[in-house]
Amino acid sequence: MTEPVTIPVAHPAPRRPHVVIIGGGFAGLQAARALRNAPVQVTLLDRTNHHLFQPLLYQVATASLSPGDIIAPIRWVLRRQQNTFVMLGEVSGIDVVSRTISLAGSGRALTYDYLVLAPGGRHSYFAHPEWETLAPGLKSVEDAAELRRRFLLSFERAELCEDEAERTAYQTIVIVGGGPTGVELAGAIPDIAYKALRRDFRRIDTRRTRVILLEGGDRVLPAFPPDLSARAKRDLESLGVEVRLNSLVTEVHGDRVGVGEETIRTHTVFWAAGNVISPLTALLGAPLDRAGRVLVEPDLSIPGHPEVFVIGDAAHVVCGGRVVPGVAPAAMQQGRSAGRNIARSLAGNARVPFDYFNKGDVATIGRHKAVADFGRFRMTGRFAWWLWLTIHIMYLIGFRNRLTVLIEWAYAYFTYQRGVRLITGATRASDSG
Amino acid sequence: MTEPVTIPVAHPAPRRPHVVIIGGGFAGLQAARALRNAPVQVTLLDRTNHHLFQPLLYQVATASLSPGDIIAPIRWVLRRQQNTFVMLGEVSGIDVVSRTISLAGSGRALTYDYLVLAPGGRHSYFAHPEWETLAPGLKSVEDAAELRRRFLLSFERAELCEDEAERTAYQTIVIVGGGPTGVELAGAIPDIAYKALRRDFRRIDTRRTRVILLEGGDRVLPAFPPDLSARAKRDLESLGVEVRLNSLVTEVHGDRVGVGEETIRTHTVFWAAGNVISPLTALLGAPLDRAGRVLVEPDLSIPGHPEVFVIGDAAHVVCGGRVVPGVAPAAMQQGRSAGRNIARSLAGNARVPFDYFNKGDVATIGRHKAVADFGRFRMTGRFAWWLWLTIHIMYLIGFRNRLTVLIEWAYAYFTYQRGVRLITGATRASDSG
What percent of chain A is modeled with pLDDT above 90? 78
Identify the domain boundary among A346, A371, A387: A346
Q: Are residues B118 and B137 in the same domain?
A: no
- What is the reported pLDDT for A420? 84
- What is the reported pLDDT for A7? 52
β B369-374/B377-380 pair status:
antiparallel
Q: How close, in Å, is residue B357 to chain A by CA atoms?
A: 32
**A66·B69 Cβ contact <8 A:** yes
Q: In angstroms, rounded to a whole number, what is the distance separating the alpha carbons of residues A295 and A288?
A: 5
Kindly report, residue by residue over A209-238, the tens digit of the pLDDT: 999 999 999 999 998 999 999 999 999 999
Instruction: State the ipTM, two decimals.
Output: 0.88
**B419·A411 Cβ contact <8 A:** no
Task: Pick the closest to residue B283 from B307, B310, B318 (CA basis).
Answer: B310
Q: Does B9 touch chain A (CB under 8 A)?
A: no
Which residues 27-56 in chain B show a CB within 8 A of chain A? 47-50
Q: Are residues B263 and B391 in the same domain?
A: yes
Q: In angstroms, rounded to a whole number, what is the distance separating the alpha carbons of residues B146 and B124?
A: 18
Q: In angstroms, rounded to a whole number, what is the distance separating the alpha carbons of residues B258 and B251?
A: 4
What three-state secondary structure class fits A8? coil
Range B49-62 average pLDDT: 94
Range B100-123 average pLDDT: 92
Task: Pick the closest to residue B161 from A252, A428, A228, A88 (CA basis).
Answer: A88
Q: How close, in Å, is residue A312 to chain B by CA atoms?
A: 23
Residue A354 lies in a domain: no
Residue A13 lies in a domain: no
Residue B68 has pLDDT above 80, yes or no: yes
Of B87, B153, B430, the CB nearest to A160: B87
* Domain at B107, CATH number: 3.50.50.60
Which site among A53, A108, A427, A431 would you substitute to test the B interface, given the most B Cβ atoms closer than 10 Å to its Cβ?
A427
Count CB-CB contacts under 10 A for residue B419. 27
**A66·B68 Cβ contact <8 A:** yes
What three-state secondary structure class fits B89? coil
Range A371-390 average pLDDT: 92
List strand residue ranges (DSSP E) for B168-215, in order: 172-176, 210-214
Residue B82 lies in a domain: no
Count CB-CB contacts under 10 A for residue B338. 33
Task: Pick the closest to residue B184 from B210, B211, B209, B152 (CA basis).
Answer: B211
Residues in chain A with CB shorter than 8 Å from the CB of B48 are 423, 427
**A87·B429 Cβ contact <8 A:** yes
Expressed as residue numbers, the domain containing A119 is 18-47+89-123+275-346
* Domain at B376, CATH number: 3.50.50.100
Which site among A9, A146, A200, A403 would you substitute to test the B interface, given the most B Cβ atoms closer than 10 Å to its Cβ?
A200
Q: Are residues B209 and B237 in the same domain?
A: yes
Residue A421 lies in a domain: no
Residue A73 lies in a domain: no
Q: Are residues B291 and B381 in the same domain?
A: no
Active site residues of B: 184
B186: left (phi over 0), alpha (psi -120 to 50) or beta: alpha
- What is the reported pLDDT for B121? 86
What three-state secondary structure class fits B67? helix
Per the omega criterion (within 30 degrees of 0), is the bond before B14 cis?
Answer: yes
Residue A423 lies in a domain: no
Which site among B2, B202, B432 would you substitute to test the A interface, given the most A Cβ atoms closer than 10 Å to its Cβ?
B202
Please report, for chain B, how many H helices and E strands are present, in that order: 10, 27
Least confident stretch, A268-277, A419-428, B20-29: A419-428
Kindly report, residue by residue over A113-144, the tens digit of the pLDDT: 999 999 998 888 888 989 999 999 999 999 99
- What is the reported pLDDT for B426? 55
- With cut-offs at 50, 70 and 90, classify the pLDDT of residue B135: very high
Range B340-348 average pLDDT: 97
Number of domains in chain A: 2
Nearest CA in chain B to A397: B419
**A10·B68 Cβ contact <8 A:** no
Alpha-carbon torsion (B1, B7, B13, B14), positive or negative:
negative
What percent of chain B is modeled with pLDDT above 70? 95
- What is the reported pLDDT for A5? 47
Q: Angle formed by the axes of helices A180-191 and A226-239, to 10°?
A: 20
CB distance A120 to A109 below 8 Å: no
Q: Are residues A386 and A254 in the same domain?
A: yes
H or E element that contains A122: strand A121-123
- What is the reported pLDDT for B7? 52
Q: Are residues B264 and B282 in the same domain?
A: no
Q: How close, in Å, is residue A270 to chain B by CA atoms?
A: 20
- What is the reported pLDDT for B274? 78
Identify the domain boundary among B346, B374, B402: B346
For residue B274, CA distances in Å to A149, B189, B263, B290, B371 come to 31, 21, 22, 12, 21
Q: In angstroms, rounded to a whole number, what is the distance separating the alpha carbons of residues A262 and B212?
A: 62
Q: Are residues B321 and B368 in the same domain?
A: no
CB pairs under 8 A, 24+ apart, for B96-101?
B96/B284, B96/B285, B96/B302, B96/B305, B96/B308, B99/B307, B100/B4, B101/B20, B101/B22, B101/B45
Q: How close, in Å, is residue A411 to chain B by CA atoms?
A: 7
Q: Does B352 touch chain A (CB under 8 A)?
A: no
Q: Are residues A258 and A280 in the same domain?
A: no
Task: Pick the closest to residue B326 from B122, B185, B137 (CA basis).
Answer: B122
CB distance B4 to B111 below 8 Å: yes
Q: Are residues B135 and B222 in the same domain?
A: yes
What is the maximum alpha-carbon separation in chain A? Answer: 74
H or E element that contains A319: strand A318-319
Q: Are residues A281 and A268 in the same domain?
A: no
- What is the reported pLDDT for A433? 34
Kindly report, residue by residue over A66-122, the tens digit of the pLDDT: 999 999 999 999 999 999 999 999 999 999 999 999 999 877 899 999 999 999 988
- What is the reported pLDDT for B428? 43
Residue A371 lies in a domain: yes
Q: In angstroms, rounded to a whole number, what is the distance separating the alpha carbons of residues B189 and B239?
A: 9
Task: Pick the closest to residue A229 from A371, A378, A389 (CA basis).
Answer: A371
CB distance B268 to B258 below 8 Å: no
Which site among A60, A86, A88 would you substitute to test the B interface, given the most B Cβ atoms closer than 10 Å to its Cβ?
A88
Residue A4 has pLDDT above 80, yes or no: no
Q: Does A234 touch chain B (CB under 8 A)?
A: no
Kindly report, residue by residue over B309-328, the tens digit of the pLDDT: 999 999 999 998 889 988 99
Q: Are residues A248 and A313 in the same domain?
A: no
Examine the residue annotation and report whether A251 is marked as an active-site residue of this protein. Answer: no
Count CB-CB contacts under 10 A for residue A314. 28
**A90·B428 Cβ contact <8 A:** yes
| Stated length of chain B | 433
Residue B5 lies in a domain: no
Kindly report, residue by residue over B205-244, the tens digit of the pLDDT: 999 999 999 999 999 999 899 999 999 999 999 999 999 9
Q: In angstroms, rounded to a whole number, what is the distance separating the alpha carbons of residues B252 and B143?
A: 18
The size of the A-B interface in CB pairs under 8 A is 182
Q: Are residues B244 and B295 in the same domain?
A: no
Q: How close, in Å, is residue B66 to chain A by CA atoms?
A: 6
Amino acid residing at A43: T
Looking at per-residue confidence, does B12 or A157 come out higher? A157
**B7·A66 Cβ contact <8 A:** no
Residue A2 has pLDDT above 60, yes or no: no
**B49·A156 Cβ contact <8 A:** yes
Residue B115 has pLDDT above 60, yes or no: yes
Identify the domain boundary among A287, A316, A346: A346
**B66·A71 Cβ contact <8 A:** no
Nearest CA in chain A to B71: A422
Q: Does A9 touch chain B (CB under 8 A)?
A: no
